[in-house]
Structure 1
Amino acid sequence: MADGRSADPLEEELEDEESAPRLRLSRRGIVVLSVLGATVLGVLAWLVFFSSVLNVRDVAVQGTPDEKLTSDQVREAIGGLAGGPLARVDLDGVKHRVEAIPRVAKAEVWRGWPHTLQVKVVQRTAVAAVKGDDGQFTQVDASGVSFATEAAPPAGVPVVELRLSQQAKDVDGVISRAQLVQGAVSVAAGLPQEVSKRAGSVLVHSYDDIELQLSGGATVRWGSPEQNDRKARVLLALMKQKGTSFDVTAPEAPAVSG
Structure 2
Amino acid sequence: MKRPQGFDQPAAPEPARPAAVRTRGPRRTTKPGSSTAGRATDARPAPGRTPGSPAASDQTSTEPIVLPAPGARRVAPVWPLRRPTETVDSPAIQGITRPDAAPGLPATPAATPPADAPLTPAGARRKFRAARRARKLYEREEVRRFTWRSRRRRTIWLVSLGIIAALGGFVLIGAYSPLMALKTIEVVGADRVPSAEVQAALGEQLGTPLPLVDFSKVKKELSRFTLIRSYVTESRPPGTLVVRIVEREPIGAVVTPAGFDLVDAAGVVIQSGTERPAGYATITARSGAGSTGFQAAAAVIMALPDGIRGQLDTVTAATKDDVTLTLVGGARVVWGSAEKSEYKAVVLAALVVSHPVGSVGEYDVSSPDSAVLR
TM over 0.5: yes
Report the Cα distance in structure 2 between the residues aligned to 1:194 and 1:87, rounded to whole angstroms.
Answer: 47
Report the Cα distance in structure 2 between the residues aligned to 1:42 and 1:237, rounded to whole angstroms.
Answer: 65
Residue 59 of structure 1 deviates from its aligned partner by: 0.9
Aligned match of 2:253 in 129, 140, 143? 129
Classify 1:70/1:199 alpha carbon distance in 2 versus 1 (closer, same or farther; 3 Å). same
4+ long deviations beyond 6 Å: 41-44
Instruction: Write out per-residue CA displacement over residues 84-125 of structure 1, whole angstroms, 9 at most, x where no aligned residue.
Output: 223322457635753663222332212222222121212121
Gaps of 5+ in 1: 3-37, 165-171
Residue 231 of structure 1 deviates from its aligned partner by: 1.7
**Residue 52 (structure 1) aligned with residue 175 (structure 2):** no
Instruction: Write out per-residue CA displacement over residues 183-221 of structure 1, whole angstroms, 9 at most, x where no aligned residue.
Output: 111111111222111102112244433221111222212
Deviates more, 1:95-104 or 1:55-64: 95-104
Report the Cα distance in structure 2 between the residues aligned to 1:91 and 1:117, rounded to whole angstroms.
Answer: 11
Deviates more, 1:130-139 or 1:91-100: 91-100
Report the Cα distance in structure 2 between the residues aligned to 1:103 and 1:111, rounded to whole angstroms.
Answer: 23
What is residue 272 of structure 2 aligned with on the other side? 150
Aligned match of 1:208 in 321, 326, 345? 321
The DSSP-based 3-state class of the residue aligned with 2:373 is strand
- Check conservation: 1:158, 1:188, Cα contact below 8 A: no
What is residue 362 of structure 2 aligned with on the other side? 245
More helix by share: 1
Aligned match of 1:69 in 190, 193, 196? 193
More strand by share: 1
After superposition, residues 73-84 of structure 1 pair within 5 angstroms as 73-84=197-208
- Check conservation: 2:250, 2:262, Cα contact below 8 A: no
Indicate the percent of aligned positions where both proteins have the same amino acid. Answer: 27
**Paired AA for residue 50 in structure 1:** Y
The DSSP-based 3-state class of the residue aligned with 2:225 is coil
Report the Cα distance in structure 2 between the residues aligned to 1:138 and 1:176, rounded to whole angstroms.
Answer: 11
Report the Cα distance in structure 1 between the residues aligned to 2:188 and 2:317, rounded to whole angstroms.
Answer: 38
Report the Cα distance in structure 2 between the residues aligned to 1:115 and 1:197, rounded to whole angstroms.
Answer: 44
Classify 1:105/1:153 alpha carbon distance in 2 versus 1 (closer, same or farther; 3 Å). farther
Structure number, greater radius of gyration: 2
What is residue 102 of structure 2 aligned with on the other side? none
The DSSP-based 3-state class of the residue aligned with 2:263 is strand
Instruction: Write out per-residue CA displacement over residues 27-85 of structure 1, whole angstroms, 9 at most, x where no aligned residue.
Output: xxxxxxxxxxx9xx979945x323434322221111124xx201122224435344422
- Check conservation: 1:99, 1:106, Cα contact below 8 A: no
Report the Cα distance in structure 1 between the residues aligned to 2:293 and 2:171, rounded to whole angstroms.
Answer: 60
Aligned match of 1:107 in 231, 239, 243? 231
Report the Cα distance in structure 1 between the residues aligned to 2:281 and 2:170, rounded to whole angstroms.
Answer: 61
Report the Cα distance in structure 2 between the residues aligned to 1:148 and 1:184, rounded to whole angstroms.
Answer: 18
**Paired AA for residue 149 in structure 1:** Q
Determine which structure has greater relative contact order: mean sequence separation of CA pairs < 8 Å that are 6+ residues apart, divided by chain length: 1
**Paired AA for residue 256 in structure 1:** L
**Residue 222 (structure 1) aligned with residue 345 (structure 2):** no
**Residue 89 (structure 1) aligned with residue 208 (structure 2):** no
The DSSP-based 3-state class of the residue aligned with 2:368 is coil
Gaps of 5+ in 2: 1-105, 109-164
- Check conservation: 1:209, 1:222, Cα contact below 8 A: yes
Report the Cα distance in structure 2 between the residues aligned to 1:129 and 1:155, rounded to whole angstroms.
Answer: 10
